[in-house]
Amino acid sequence: MHLVTLTNILIIGILSAILLNFFFKKNRQNIKEKTRFNSLPKHYSYCFILWVMIFEIIIFSSNISQLLKLIYSLIIVISTIILINFAYRQNFNAKKHFEKFGVGILALSASIGIAITIIITLIIFFESSKFFELVNIQDFLFGLSWNPQMAIASEQEVGKSAFGIIPVFLGTILIMLIAMIVAIPIGIICAIYLAMYAQKNTRNILKPVIEILAGVPTVVYGYFAVIAIAPLFRNFLAIFSIEISTESALTTGFVMGIMIIPFILSLSDDAINCVPQTLKDGALALGSTQSEMIKKVVIPSAMPSIIGAIILAVSRAIGETMIVVMSAGLVAKLTFNPLESVTTATAQIVTLLVGDQEFNSPKTLSAFALALVLFIFTFILNIIALVIIKNFKKKI
């Protein structure tokens, strides 16, 4: 009954708005004297629908009977029709009124995003503070052993060496660097080719095909790393008598780099295409070859956006979880060797929060401490990127 009543009211409101729009148009055509209207008839219809929706939400959120809701809703519709007709005759600026409402909705949406970010940040800080009450922050930041599975919940017996983040952080940085070494050159080179050299038909085929990689689920990349890439690297390095772990950082970083290529390619391609054609033509008119024009004009002009694309890709690599869980292992090792198995902060967070366990134990709370480190690291990375982009814009 509740849904049926609301649907009926919406239908009545929409039909009323259509009739009002028709009436206002007809009335405007019949006006003989010159009158300068500040809004179109449809703007008054929009205001009518807006006012009805606001009052309907208030009515249907109140605790009254369905019959009263229906009666009040009909009264609101009729009253709003009379009010909007009066506003039309007084040449009320409905367009500006409706635009202000749109701006308010946009501001509210932005505020919601900011509020969610603040809430998440506060939760991470609050839970991390509980962890640092049990574990010394210096032992956490500078410890060389990560083994929370062996930690004991008692404050006095928590091992100092059980929560050292250095091995986890090294694994995260190692895999991220390998992914960037793969993704950045390939992504930027492909973007330059598609934007500056490829024919239109070739571009229309290649770009969507490459961008399909961005829509492939990460679990598929994980299977691809385990089944295809890991044996390929193992067999290839065996030719040179080099041993590589089944779950190596090299395999994980390589596959992660393939996954990130579309992000860098798409954003870099858009940045290159946004460089004004007059700059390109001017460089060619001065005698530059196409390659010189790309190196000395296009790339420097597009560099701020390209750097933004790289930072986005780095954040994506740091936050990736499924590929790491499936192909990199879960044991934290104090090594920077890409041929060995390592782990990342995101993989450890998943491991620590899966299963039935006490939420206030050091083992579980350490996941929030890892999240805090990732948050701070990403925040610093974004600040550095903003400074670099600002310096590039000054040079341009």
Q: Which residue has the higher pLDDT, 192 or 153?
A: 192
Q: How far is CA 74 from the centre of its chain?
A: 43
One domain for residues 57 and 171? no
Render pLDDT for 3-22 as a digit per residue (tens, 0 to 9): 555 666 666 667 777 777 77
Cα 343 to chain centroid distance, Å, stands at 24
285 and 383 together in one domain: yes
- Residue 378 confidence (pLDDT) above 70: yes
**Structure confidence at residue 1 (pLDDT):** 45
Tell me what pLDDT residue 154 has.
44
The answer on 369 and 234 residing in a single domain is yes
Q: How distant, in Å, are the alpha carbons of 16, 302, 365 from that of 144?
A: 71, 42, 19
For residue 160, pLDDT beyond 70: no
Pair (172, 90) in one structural domain: no
164, pLDDT greater than 50: yes
Note whether residue 144 is domain-resident: no
List CB contacts of 324: < 8 A, sequence separation 6 or more: 175, 252, 256, 343, 344, 346, 347
Q: What is the pTM of this model?
A: 0.76
Please give the pLDDT value at position 176: 92
The pLDDT of residue 12:
65
Q: What is the pLDDT of residues 54-85, one digit of tens each?
A: 777 777 777 777 777 777 777 877 887 788 77
Q: Is residue 115 pLDDT above 80, yes or no? A: yes
* 342 and 211 within one domain: yes
Out of 8-22, 191-205, 210-224, 231-245, which region has the weakest mean confidence (pLDDT)? 8-22
Give the residue with greater pLDDT, 6 vs 236: 236
350 found inside a domain: yes
**Mean pLDDT calculated for residue range 281-307:** 88
Q: Is residue 91 part of a domain?
A: yes
One domain, residues 52 and 183: no
83 and 195 inside one domain:
no
Strand partners, 146: 163
| Mean of pLDDT values over 44-53 | 79
Do 186 and 90 reside in the same domain of the chain?
no
**Residue % of the chain over a pLDDT of 70:** 87
Rounded mean pLDDT of the chain? 82
Mark whether 270 and 386 lie in a shared domain: yes
**Model pLDDT, residue 8:** 61
- What was the pLDDT predicted at 178? 93
Domain count, the chain: 2
Q: Is 65 helix (H, G, I), strand (E, B) or coil?
A: coil
User: How many CB atoms lie under 10 A from the CB of residue 178?
Assistant: 22
CATH number at residue 359: 1.10.3720.10
Give residue 102's pLDDT: 84
CA atoms within 13 A on the CB side of 139: 17
pLDDT classification of 35: cutoffs 50, 70, 90: low
Q: What is the pLDDT at residue 187?
A: 92
Closest CA to 88 of 147, 21, 33, 32: 21
Position with higher pLDDT, 152 vs 40: 40
**Are residues 259 and 359 both part of a single domain?**
yes
For residues 275-286, average pLDDT: 88
Both tokens of residue 186? 């390939």
Question: Is residue 322 situated within a structural domain?
Answer: yes
**Domain closes at, from 52, 83, 99:** 99
What are the DSSP E strand ranges found in 230-332? none
Query: Mind listing the pLDDT tens digit for each residue in 239-276?
Result: 888 888 888 889 999 999 999 999 899 889 988 988 88
195 lies in some domain: yes
Q: Which of 11-15, 28-32, 139-143, 341-345 has the lowest mean pLDDT?
A: 28-32
177 has pLDDT over 90: yes
> Considering just the CA atoms, what is the radius of gyration of the chain in Å?
30
Cβ–Cβ under 8 Å, residues 171 and 249: yes
High-pLDDT (> 90) share of the chain, %: 11
Boundary (domain end) residue, out of 64, 81, 99: 99
Q: Are residues 187 and 331 in the same domain?
A: yes
Q: Is 59 within a domain?
A: yes
Name the domain boundary from 73, 99, 125.
99
258/390 same-domain check? yes
- Report yes or no on 285 lying in a domain: yes
When pLDDT is cut at 50, 70 and 90, the band that residue 155 belongs to is very low
Burial string for 102-140 (b: 16+ CB within 10 Å, else e) reads eeeeeeeeeeeeeeeeeeeeeebeebbeebeebbeeebb
Q: For residue 112, is it within any domain?
A: no
Which of 57-61, 318-322, 352-356 has the largest mean confidence? 318-322
Residue 76's domain spans which residues?
2-28+38-99
Q: Which residue has the higher pLDDT, 333 or 38?
A: 333
